[in-house]
């Protein structure tokens, strides 16, 4: 279960940075949720990973 949480956190971190790049590429005209929503899931999976250690 720890391994799955770590893998999910890595995937969500990658999605966060790509979403932030998408927002910056469009000069802020798109919704910032493209970067915020994956970050929330990344923080949740990281905290689950740290609790299961």
pLDDT for res 39? 97
Q: At what angle do helices 2-25 and 33-52 cross, to 10 degrees?
A: 160
Distance CA 18, CA 24 (A): 10
Q: Per-domain residue ranges for the chain?
A: 2-52
Q: What's this model's pTM, rounded to 2 decimal places?
A: 0.89
Per-residue pLDDT for the chain (53 aa), expressed as one digit of tens each? 899 999 999 999 999 999 999 999 999 999 999 999 999 999 999 999 999 87
């Amino acid at each position: 279960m720890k391994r799955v949480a770590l893998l999910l956190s890595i995937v969500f971190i990658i999605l966060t940075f790509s979403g932030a790049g998408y927002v910056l590429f469009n000069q802020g005209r798109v919704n910032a949720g493209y970067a915020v929503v994956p970050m929330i899931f990344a923080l949740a999976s990281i905290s689950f990973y740290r609790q299961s250690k």
